[in-house]
């Protein structure tokens, strides 16, 4: 039996959280057990109450807002505490297809990958604005150059992580995780693949992305991450620190 823990980082998502939780299949295959948890990051609306009523396995509540990077880092930790073999992260804002979670975990179940990104640009996209599309292309290209391999969608809000990746991945800033975590995981030697997903832009709630804050946090974090020297992960060596 494999344990899959799906975590949703959520900040003021009362308009979406219930419907989002309902999109996540509870049964994926006979040998997979699914748990769903919410990492609430100081929401000031009814996110926590509604998530609890929607029947998730746990809601972890931060008193104050720590940022999406910090929330995903906490998500990894919670998955491990719950004994996950695979952790899945998915945004709470109804943009990503919960029904496709079985597709993103399959390559890990098959032993073909350690890290799976749901790729919007390999799949279908509904309603993404032009400036967002360009921003996504630019940040994805930057990651492709830094990793010397082609990536199609470096900012996806739907990803799956093997247990080893949950243990080893580091997110070096609290504001965001999207690019730095991929640089971190891939440079440690884990196998990443992308699979096509269907994406539909947010119809309710508010995006947290503000251009200036994003640029001034994410770009320096990418730089800092690349300055670090990755120690390749091997099963015997495990937890060695980076220098
Ligand atoms: N824990 C936590 N989650 C956050 C925070 N800000 C946003 N989120 C959640 O992270 C997910 C992604 O946030 P969005 O604002 O949709 O960001 P995005 O999808 O990159 O941007 P859009 O394309 O505009 O939707 C959603 O589930 C949010 O609720 C935060 O500060 N802390
Ligand atoms: Mg979103």
Question: Is 240 inside a domain boundary?
Answer: no
Q: Residue 208 pLDDT more than 70? A: yes
| Ligand 1 pocket member 138 (CB < 6 A) | no
Residue whose CA is closest, atom 20 of ligand 1? 209
Q: For residue 83, what is the enclosing H or E element?
A: none
Band (pLDDT 50/70/90 cuts) for residue 236 is low
Residue whose CA is closest, atom 14 of ligand 1? 207
Neighbours of ion ligand 2 (CB under 5 A): 93, 95, 202
The pLDDT of residue 3 is 98
| Ligand 1 pocket member 191 (CB < 6 A) | no
| Ligand 1 pocket member 208 (CB < 6 A) | yes
Q: What's the pTM?
A: 0.93
| Ligand 1 pocket member 92 (CB < 6 A) | yes
Q: Residue 68 pLDDT more than 60? A: yes
Give pLDDT tens digits for 10-20. Answer: 999 999 999 99
The pLDDT of residue 240 is 47
Question: Is 238 inside a domain boundary?
Answer: no
Q: Residue 141 pLDDT more than 60? A: yes
Tell me, in angstroms, the distance from the centre of ligand 2 to residue 91's CA.
6
Question: Is 29 inside a domain boundary?
Answer: yes
Q: Residue 243 pLDDT more than 50? A: no
Question: Is 41 inside a domain boundary?
Answer: yes
| Ligand 1 pocket member 39 (CB < 6 A) | yes
The C-alpha atoms of residue 166 and residue 86 are separated, in whole angstroms, by 8
Give pLDDT tens digits for 95-122. Answer: 999 999 999 999 999 999 999 999 999 9
Question: Is 242 inside a domain boundary?
Answer: no
Q: What integer is the mean pLDDT of 141-166?
A: 98
Ligand 1 atom nearest the C-alpha of 65 is 31
Give pLDDT tens digits for 76-102. Answer: 999 999 999 999 999 999 999 999 999
Give pLDDT tens digits for 122-140. Answer: 999 999 999 999 999 999 9
Give pLDDT tens digits for 3-52. Answer: 999 999 999 999 999 999 999 999 988 899 999 999 999 999 999 999 99
Question: Is 157 inside a domain boundary?
Answer: yes
Which is more confident, 41 or 209?
Answer: 41
What 3-state class would DSSP assign to 40? Answer: strand
Number of domains present in the structure of the chain? 1
Question: Is 235 inside a domain boundary?
Answer: no
The pLDDT of residue 237 is 54
Counting ligand 1 atoms within 8 A of each CB, the residue from 7, 8, 9 with the most, and so the one to mutate, is: 9
Domain range holding 56?
2-227
The pLDDT of residue 29 is 87
Counting ligand 1 atoms within 8 A of each CB, the residue from 16, 51, 65, 68 with the most, and so the one to mutate, is: 68
The C-alpha atoms of residue 146 and residue 181 are separated, in whole angstroms, by 13
| Ligand 1 pocket member 128 (CB < 6 A) | no
CATH number at residue 173: 3.90.550.10
The C-alpha atoms of residue 22 and residue 45 are separated, in whole angstroms, by 19
The pLDDT of residue 95 is 97
For residues 3 and 82, is the Cβ–Cβ distance under 8 A? yes
| Residue 12 region by backbone torsions, left for phi larger than 0, else alpha for psi between -120 and 50, else beta | left
Counting ligand 1 atoms within 8 A of each CB, the residue from 93, 131, 179 with the most, and so the one to mutate, is: 93
Question: Is 92 inside a domain boundary?
Answer: yes
The pLDDT of residue 101 is 98
Ligand 1 atom nearest the C-alpha of 71 is 1
Q: For residue 157, what is the enclosing H or E element?
A: none
């Amino acid at each position: 039996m494999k344990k899959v823990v799906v975590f949703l980082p959520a900040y003021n998502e009362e308009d979406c959280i219930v419907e989002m939780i309902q999109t996540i299949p509870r049964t994926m295959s006979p040998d997979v057990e699914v748990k769903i948890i919410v990492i609430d990051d100081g929401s000031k609306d009814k996110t926590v109450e509604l998530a609890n009523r929607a029947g998730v396995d746990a809601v972890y509540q931060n008193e104050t807002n720590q940022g999406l990077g910090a929330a995903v880092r906490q998500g990894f930790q919670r998955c491990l505490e719950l004994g996950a073999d695979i952790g899945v992260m998915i945004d709470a804002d109804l943009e990503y297809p919960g029904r496709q979670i079985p597709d993103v975990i399959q390559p890990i179940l098959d032993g073909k990958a350690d890290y799976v990104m749901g790729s919007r640009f390999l799949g279908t996209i509904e309603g993404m604005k032009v400036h967002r599309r360009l921003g996504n292309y630019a940040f994805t290209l930057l990651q492709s150059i830094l990793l010397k391999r082609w990536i199609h969608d470096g900012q996806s809000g739907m990803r799956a992580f093997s247990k080893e990746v949950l243990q080893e991945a580091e997110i070096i800033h609290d504001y965001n995780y999207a690019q730095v975590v991929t640089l971190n995981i891939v440079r440690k030697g884990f196998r990443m693949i992308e699979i096509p997903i269907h994406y539909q832009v947010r119809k309710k709630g508010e995006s947290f992305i503000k251009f200036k804050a994003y640029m001034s946090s994410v770009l320096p974090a990418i730089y800092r991450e690349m300055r670090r020297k990755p120690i390749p992960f091997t099963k015997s060596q495990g937890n060695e620190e980076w220098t």
